[in-house]
Structure 1
Amino acid sequence: RRHMSCLVTTWVSQASAKQRIGRTGRVFEGVAIRLFTKQFYDNYMEEFDPPEMQTAPLEKLYVNVKHLSGKLPEYQITPTEKRKRTPKELLQLTAQPPELSAIDSSIEVLDQLGAITNRSENAELT
């Protein structure tokens, strides 16, 4: 396993196809030519692209969130517990959070690369 992202040739989503029309037909008169049929568009193309947070490697994002989480104020977790949120908790607060297993895999990769001191939530960036 190489832990690298790569570009894959695939069909755009319906939302991306609509966006790529640009101003043609919305602001000015014009024609948009698409190289697929309406049937293909309606029956085979996904309505939206999957969120990048659910498809891209999370190592860089985790490092950025880990760095920024140290600058955030403490948060009232329970009536008796006040602490800073962990990077994993912060990532789970996003609109479309990544799978917990993907976060754990990223933490493991970062530990193997020596980017964090260990695999715990309290690990320091190196």
Structure 2
Amino acid sequence: MKLLCEKMDFLSVLLLFFSAVAVSRAQVQQELSAETSEGTGINITCSHPSIQADNIHWYRQLPGRGPAFLVNAFKGSKEVPDPEGQVFVSSDRRSSALWLARPRLGDAAVYYCA
């Protein structure tokens, strides 16, 4: 029974890792890592003070796979269908945030903004 409880505790933790990337001469910065419990919402922030592109793009890279496009937005908020959530872009476009409403274990990945 103790082994089963330990296994359940391990499975309830979702680790999300982020990185800083350079895109079109604009430096973006993100937290190195964050974690949440499965089903508990999490906000992933990104700073892009010198962005020149029209839209802010968000990508997710699952373990063993290449980056996959999630959503793009210019300003304001936009729904993200999978994983369920929203992206918010500040009115001055210097920052954005990806809100994952109810992350699942399968959503553990590297999340990029560009």
When Rg is computed on C-alpha atoms for both structures, the one with the higher figure is 1
Greater relative contact order: 1 or 2 (C-alpha under 8 angstroms, separation 6 or more)? 2
Q: Which has the higher strand share?
A: 2
Q: Which has the higher helix share?
A: 1
TM-score by length of 1: 0.23
TM-score by length of 2: 0.25
